Structure 1
Amino acid sequence: MLGIYFSGTGNSKYCVEKFLQEYDTTADSYSIEDSELLKYIHNHEDIVLGYPVQYSNVPKILKDFIVNNSSLWNGKHIFIIATMALFSGDGSGVLSRIFKKYGATTVGGLHIKMPDSIGDEKVLKHSLDYNRNLVIKAENKIKKASKDLKYGIPPKDGLGFLCHIVGLFGQRLYFINKMNRYTDKLKINDDKCIICGKCIDLCPMNNLVIKNEMVVSNSQCTMCYRCVNNCPKQAITLLGKMVVEQSNIEKYI
């Protein structure tokens, strides 16, 4: 088995790695940003893929990765892990339908509630204890799912027709335009920014660059929140106006 993930603050990476620890300790996992990943996909039939749900949809960077490498998926058996802070009707299902177009079979789906990565929206924030308990519950759910998959009765979170309807009308229908393109809404406070370059190194889209002694966005943000949650001066925001809490998985394990 091969593990694949796209992860902004580490939630999806953590869940895939935990799943593989339980299911197959010999298996390795890789980010979709890894330059060697296509070779590994070619050599594996069974795949577990983790990703963070955005507006009950797939992040644009992951969708583009799948579509741009469409010839690789035919005949693959994929178990999907969808991480989320709020309820998503068909987090696994929306990705499964993309894979189906390219000949892949989804063998199961798992929805995992994890600490929210949106660091600039106060309404989404919880206490440290709450988030640590979320991770403990996630680990227990992952252990059960890996055991069930071994026994041939994998969970099917988000894969049914009713789940599709809930996901569609819960969020996706209202925010579909947000997910069809990369966003230009990333904001950098020049008064706070010290041009350390950390955000530039972390960005999976190479969206951030230095121009005229300032860090600027090239309007190709995939909303992973990596830069917001790692800026040492909390100078970057996306949805909100100020950073409320910087959230990376290391805080909660």
Structure 2
Amino acid sequence: MILYFSGTGNSAYAAEKIAKVTGDKIIDLFSRIRGHNYSEIKSGSPWVIVTPTYAWRIPRIVQEWLENSGLVGNKDIYFVMTCGGSIGNAGKYLKELCAAKKLNYLGCAAVLMPENYIAMFTTPAQKEALEIIRQADPVIDKIALEIKNGKAFSQPAVSFQDKRSSGIINTAFYPIFVHAKKFYATDACVSCGKCVNVCPLNNIRLKDGKPIWGKNCTHCMACISRCPTEAIEYGRHSKGLPRYVFPKSNPELK
């Protein structure tokens, strides 16, 4: 059973590619996370959790959902994390999560994908993004085959910086940086409400036709990246940067 969460499409793409190889059922966790749905899910095959990397660990909203949800049946579990750079020492915390849920942790694999964190980094133009995706394809295929064959992922050496990034930096990152205060809509907004619909935490509402952000934000970048008129900005940093959403319709990826 493949469970995935994806803000701008990278993890959705990886999950779908893995499912084609393994033949597993695939579930998008968006509605379950948004609706606080922790109802039991049963699988006869190993669990595969595909998720983006937020500050060198899985997103806290995914962590919380996993902690509270009943995953029954098969006890083996894999994690696949898409990232713009590194997953740090994420495996340490995933092992702890699996131990608490009495699941057999079979490792965490990283897949380098186009950067989408427009709040802090530079997002790629389409040509660069397509090249990164092309390079990621054989990595995802290899991961899928290992899952299909029931093989545990090999784990790379963890550096001091990896431990620091997933530890103290992750702990500080959320209260300092993960908030919605800098999001705003320009006059290009057409009041379509897409930002409201793509928010996994119900954190956005329309007031007088313009989006208003609440305090419950996870920085998935779905609202700013999926706005059809690019009307949403994040302070000054996002101005002039390309909005990245996985280019599913691009013929080069077919």
TM-score by length of 1: 0.83
- In the TM superposition, what whole-angstrom CA distance separates every residue of 1:135-159 from its partner, at most 9, and x where no partner exists? 122210122222234444432346x
Asked if the contact 1:192–1:235 (Cα under 8 Å) also holds between the matched residues in 2, the reply is yes
- Structure 2 partner of 1:174: 169
Question: Where in structure 2 are the equivalents of 1:178-217 lying within 5 Å?
Answer: 178-179=173-174, 183-217=179-213
1:47 Cα offset (Å): 0.9
Alignment of 1:78-157 (within 5 A): 78-121=77-120, 124-157=122-155
CA–CA separation in structure 1 for the residues paired with 2:102 and 2:240: 42
* Inter-partner Cα distance in structure 2 for 1:231 and 1:112: 26
**1:180, distance to aligned residue in structure 2 (A):** 6.4
From 218, 239, 250, the counterpart of 1:242? 239
Q: Could you tell me whether the CA contact under 8 Å between 1:237 and 1:243 is conserved in 2?
A: no
Q: Which residue of structure 1 lines up, in the alignment, with residue 30 of structure 2? A: 33
Distance 1:215 1:125 in 2: 23
Say which SS state the counterpart of residue 134 (structure 1) adopts.
helix
Looking at structure 2, the residues matched to 96 and 138 of structure 1 have their Cα atoms a distance apart, in angstroms, of: 25
Aligned pairs, number: 245
Partner SS, residue 169 of structure 2: coil
CA contact (8 A) 1:74 1:102 kept: no
How far is the alpha carbon of 1:171 from its aligned partner? 5.5
Distance 2:219 2:73 in 1: 29
- Shift in CA distance, 45/61, structure 1 to aligned 2, threshold 3 Å: same
Q: Which runs of 5+ in 1 are unaligned?
A: none
Q: Report the more deviating stretch, 165-174 or 109-118.
A: 165-174
**Larger deviation: 177-186 or 146-155?**
177-186
CA offsets 1:53-76 (integer angstroms, 9 cap, x no match): 01112212112211222x436962
SS at match of 1:42: strand
Distance (whole Å) between structure 1 residues aligned to residue 175 and residue 65 of structure 2: 14
* C-alpha separation in 1, matches of 2:92 and 2:107: 10
Q: 2:205 aligns to what SS in structure 1?
A: strand
Residue identity opposite 1:114 in structure 2? M
TM-score under structure 2 length normalisation: 0.82
Q: Distance in 1 between matches of 2:72 and 2:100?
A: 9
**CA 1:126–1:198 in 2, change beyond 3 Å: closer, same or farther?**
closer
